[in-house]
Amino acid sequence: MLAQRRASQRTSDAKSILGKRLKNLLKNKQCKDFLDGLLKQLAKDTGIPTVANTFLKVFEAASFRNISGETEDLGSAFVTASGAILGINFSKARPGGRNSLEAITIHETAHGASRVFQGYSEFQIASAAFTVGGAMGLVPDAVIPPWEE
């Protein structure tokens, strides 16, 4: 009982920390447009609908766990028809760049944006991000599209 309470406490703390970080990023219109556009592109490319049409709503629909000490990975995504359980390795997160708490949260949330088994794949996310980022002028010319790698 006590362990259970501690586990659920840890889960809600993780989500509230991540939610604050994400909402702060989404104040930037370009960031919000990119992430909302990513969802639209994922649905369009795959034919698999997203659970919501804004990135924040997708985040709110998911559960988050602190998986520090459980894995060497930065994060994890367990997605089923009834919801997404996303793991964030707080102990591996570093400020700025791709290992930041924000980047890990966005990456795992993108996996959990559909309710098909295991969510959207690495390739589907990379491909949609490349398309949306390109249309917004955010992709440097030297970047190779994921489908050519």
Contact string (CB under 5 A) for Zn ion, positions 60-99, x = contact? ----------------------------------------
Q: Toward Zn ion, which CB reaches closer, 33 or 122?
A: 122
The whole-angstrom separation of Cα 98 and Cα 88 is 13
Q: How far is the CB of 55 from Zn ion (least distance, A)?
A: 16
Please name which of 116, 105, 3 lies closest in space to residue 64, comparing C-alpha atoms.
105
Nearest distance from C-beta of residue 9 to Zn ion, angstroms: 27
Query: Which of the stretches 57-65, 80-88, 117-125, 139-147 binds Zn ion when contact is defined by CB under 5 A?
Result: 117-125
Minimum CB distance to Zn ion, residue 137 (Å): 25
Crossing angle (nearest 10°) for helices 101-111 and 2-26: 100
**149 DSSP 8-state letter:** -
Whose Cβ is closer to Zn ion: residue 7's or residue 116's? 116
Of 14 and 110, which CB lies nearer to Zn ion in the complex structure?
Answer: 110
**By the 8 A CB rule, do 34 and 136 touch?**
yes
Q: Count interface residues toward Zn ion (CB under 5 A).
A: 1
- Least spacing, CB of residue 41 vs Zn ion, in Å: 17
Nearest CA to 82 out of 56, 117, 49 is that of: 117
Residue 86: strand pairing partners: 64, 77
H or E stretch at 29: helix 29-46
- The residues that touch Zn ion, with contacts defined as CB under 5 A, are 122
